[in-house]
Homo-oligomer: A and B are copies of this chain.
Amino acid sequence: MKIQHFTATQPEAVPEAPGVSIRWVITDKDGAPSFAMRVFDVQPGAASPYHQHPWEHEVFILEGKGAVRSETGDTPVEAGYAVLVKPGEMHQFVNTGEGLLRFICLIPHPQP
């Protein structure tokens, strides 16, 4: 069992996304068998990359105001929104507010 406040994990910069940091809160190194939990902080005016990949995201917005950008447009989100990004879907998380946008994002471990 691992029990730890998420701020005990140091944030790392995301090189391709200025103003975005990631905390790897639960990983395979902790003994998680199949998926990892990260916490993202997106500064005002910043955004995650607009991209796609062959694995899913399961996201829960903790604080702030943002938009989820996809091929069908922007959807506003705030605390309490859950987002499933399916494999292969273009997506981006944009901070549209004046404060921090913070969300949890879970991904499966890389397949061997």
- Which of A's residues lie within 8 Å of B, judged by CB? 1-7, 25-26, 30-35, 37, 55-56, 58, 60, 62, 68, 70, 72, 75, 77, 80-87, 89, 91, 104, 106, 108
The answer to whether A32 and B58 touch across the interface, beta carbons within 8 angstroms, is: yes
A33-B80 contact in complex given A1-B70, A60-B104, C-beta closer than 8 Å:
no
**Which residues in B have their C-beta under 8 angstroms from that of A68?**
1, 3
The CB with the most chain B CB atoms within 10 A, among A5, A72, A82, A85, is that of: A82
Interface of A is mostly: strand
Can you report 17 A-B residue pairs in the complex whose CB atoms are below 8 A from each other?
Answer: A1-B68, A1-B84, A1-B91, A3-B75, A3-B82, A3-B83, A6-B60, A25-B60, A26-B58, A31-B86, A32-B58, A32-B84, A33-B86, A34-B34, A35-B108, A60-B60, A62-B62
